[in-house]
Amino acid sequence: MASDSNKDINNETEVLDENSKKECHKCKLLEEENRKLEEENRKLVDEIEKFNNDLIGNKDFNKTLAAIIDKHKKEIKSKDDKIESKDEEIKSKDKEIKSKDDEIINLKKRHQYELGSAKTFRLSDDDKNNPTNLNEDISQIQEDLEFYVTNLRPKTDIEINLKNISRLLNDSKVKKTVLQRHVLRTILDYFDKYNRKNSLELQFLKQAEDLENLAKRLEKEPYTKATVFIRNNSLLNSSDKNPNSIAKFFRIFI
């Protein structure tokens, strides 16, 4: 709607500008005509003076001269009346042009005001498209997705498409995480040759392998059995037995 209104205003402004140009052209024509009339008047005056100079002392031509002078005076008065009429017409056109200019200025001001109103449009706080509400909705969706993926169970009849998972690894940024896990697995594979009996490195490796085996059991066994195993496993000494927290802990290794 705002775009259509702007187009109408621009079209109307162009029409007014074109009309103003036409009126200005008419004014110039009138001024040119006045100039020609004034020049003709000067020629008539010069002609009268010439006749006066030629007929000085010639009484026979006094009446003729008087008639010519009277005729020229009438013509001059007629020309003067035309000039005055044209002057009034020019003044009227000037007023009309000024009125059109004022109208154009007002249209431009209204156009700028409407553009400013469109740019300063603000959503209300209750609007669902408000940025604050959108951020909250996005955060909620992220939490729901995280909870859903964490709590996938075989008994929910959800089948995981391994081909799509492979495509996901190739198309998304999780490839970096997979490579990190591969590097960790490679390090662990070569870890045996650096082990010493009862060393801290050996204990770390044993616990890491236990966690990996536990993660594999979570993939194969029902979720309830895996939870019992988790709670009874000596590796989990934390007081937090929440399955979601445990699953988040496993993400470090799987």
Residue 241 and residue 163 share a domain: yes
Number of domains in the chain: 2
**Phi-psi category of 198—alpha, beta or left, where left has phi over 0 and alpha has psi -120 to 50?**
left
pLDDT of 42 reads: 86
User: What distance in Å separates the CA atoms of residue 179 and residue 172, rounded to the nearest whole number?
Assistant: 13
> In terms of pLDDT, which residue wins out, 82 or 15?
82
pLDDT at 14 over 60: yes
pLDDT of 241 reads: 45
pLDDT, average across residues 161-186: 66
pLDDT of 35 reads: 83
Instruction: Establish if 124 belongs to a structural domain.
Output: no
> In terms of pLDDT, which residue wins out, 93 or 64?
93
pLDDT, average across residues 128-143: 64
Give the model's confidence band at 251: pLDDT under 50 very low, under 70 low, under 90 confident, else very high: very low
Query: Which of 76, 94, 119 lies at the terminal end of a domain, its last residue?
Result: 119
- Is the separation of the CB atoms in 150 and 248 below 8 Å? yes
pLDDT of 37 reads: 85
pLDDT of 249 reads: 43
Residues 6+ apart with CB under 8 A from 201: 191, 194, 195
pLDDT of 43 reads: 87
> Residue 27's CB: how many other CB atoms inside 10 A?
19
User: What distance in Å separates the CA atoms of residue 75 and residue 18, rounded to the nearest whole number?
Assistant: 38
pLDDT digits (tens, 9 = 90+) for 194-207: 655 556 666 777 78
pLDDT digits (tens, 9 = 90+) for 88-100: 888 888 888 888 8
Residue 142 and residue 78 share a domain: no
Residue 70 and residue 29 share a domain: yes
SS3 content of the chain, % helix, strand, coil (to 5): 80, 0, 20
Domain that holds residue 198: 134-250
Report the share of the chain in percent with pLDDT over 70: 41
Mean pLDDT over the full length of the chain:
67
Give the model's confidence band at 7: pLDDT under 50 very low, under 70 low, under 90 confident, else very high: low
Residue 74 and residue 140 share a domain: no
DSSP state letter for 234: T
Instruction: Establish if 52 belongs to a structural domain.
Output: yes
Residue 158 and residue 67 share a domain: no
Instruction: Establish if 224 belongs to a structural domain.
Output: yes
pLDDT, average across residues 134-146: 67
Residue 246 and residue 138 share a domain: yes
Instruction: Establish if 127 belongs to a structural domain.
Output: no
pLDDT at 152 over 60: no
pLDDT of 9 reads: 57
Report the share of the chain in percent with pLDDT over 90: 0
Please state the φ and ψ torsions of residue 168, each to the nearest 5 degrees.
-60, -40
Residue 143 and residue 95 share a domain: no
User: What distance in Å separates the CA atoms of residue 171 and residue 182, rounded to the nearest whole number?
Assistant: 18
Helix boundaries (H) for 55-130: 62-119
pLDDT digits (tens, 9 = 90+) for 215-238: 777 777 654 444 444 444 444 444
Residue 13 and residue 114 share a domain: yes
pLDDT of 119 reads: 47
pLDDT of 179 reads: 65
